[in-house]
Amino acid sequence: MTRDKIYTADEFADAPFRFNETVARVFPDMLNRSIPGYAASIEAIGSLAARYVKSGTNCYDLGCSLGAATLAMRQGIRAADCRIIAVDSSTAMTGRCESVIAMESESAPSQTPVDVRLGDIRDTEMTNASMVVLNYTLQFLDLDARNAIMRRIHDALVPGGLLLLSEKVIDGDPHMEELLVDLHHEHKRRNDYSQLEISRKRAALEKVLVPETVAAHRERIAHAGFAHSAVWLRYFNFVSIVAIK
């Protein structure tokens, strides 16, 4: 795993965050050191796939990056005749994702094929789905595009199908929001990010990653038509929500 030292370099001091080759090279390390609870969210995807994926259906990993959620789904699936469609708009991510999936297939053969696609998830056709994953993806879409994609996911799911949504969130109470941000930054410092790296990355993500409250996410999920939803995991200002059609 290549160490994330991107924001020690002055050339990235004022650049907005992009899912380019530089980020793709260090992305696993970046996620593990930056997102508290990330490993738990990936582990849960496998457990949920074992429980909710139905025979003869599709599964979607929207914003798949390097395929961690895709692999967790595939390892968890127990049903026959399923297919996983992994979609990302970054050529750097999809190229490396294909390599990761190929290596995993050699070492641990699976009956569940994976189709890695380069594309905009807002335009991705979805149908006959029993599980859809948005793992820290929705937060990078424009606010006015989020309701539409949630409705499309709901409509693509079969009855009883499951959505897993993981996001960075903000708290409605400014005092608590300040505390949660401070705790997150302390988490990064404990994972050997310097204050300079933390500050530069925060500036790079401003206006690129736009978080919302948990209430806003659950309201959107309900309006899309999901019958049930719950926060199953929260660690500081990061949450994972499951919703069932």
Stretch among 11-20, 41-50, 184-193 having the lowest mean pLDDT: 11-20
CA distance 187 to 179: 12
Closest CA to 163 of 132, 136, 135: 132
| 195-204 confidence digits (pLDDT tens) | 999 999 999 9
Q: What dotted CATH number matches 1-245?
A: 3.40.50.150
- 195-205 vs 174-190: helix crossing angle, rounded to 10: 130
The pLDDT of residue 14: 86
DSSP secondary structure of 157-217: EEEEEEEEEEEEB--SSHHHHHHHHHHHHHHHHHTT--HHHHHHHHHHHTTTS--B-HHHH
pLDDT score for 226: 98
pLDDT > 90? residue 77: yes
Q: How confident is the model at residue 137 (pLDDT cuts 50, 70, 90)?
A: very high
pLDDT greater than 80 at residue 215: yes
pLDDT at 107 over 90: no
Does the pTM surpass 0.75? The reply is yes
In 3D space, the residue among 153, 156, 115, 132 whose CA is nearest the CA of residue 53 turns out to be 132
Alpha helices in 108-173 (DSSP H): 143-156
1 pLDDT higher than 90: no
In this predicted structure, what is the pLDDT of residue 147?
98
Q: What is the pLDDT of residues 8-42, one digit of tens each?
A: 998 888 889 999 999 999 999 999 999 999 999 99
Q: What is the three-class DSSP state of 135?
A: strand
Q: What is the pLDDT of residues 110-131, one digit of tens each?
A: 899 999 999 999 999 999 999 9
Please determine, for residue 45, whether its predicted confidence score (pLDDT) is greater than 90: yes
* C-alpha closest to that of 17 among 29, 2, 6: 6
pLDDT of residue 12: 85
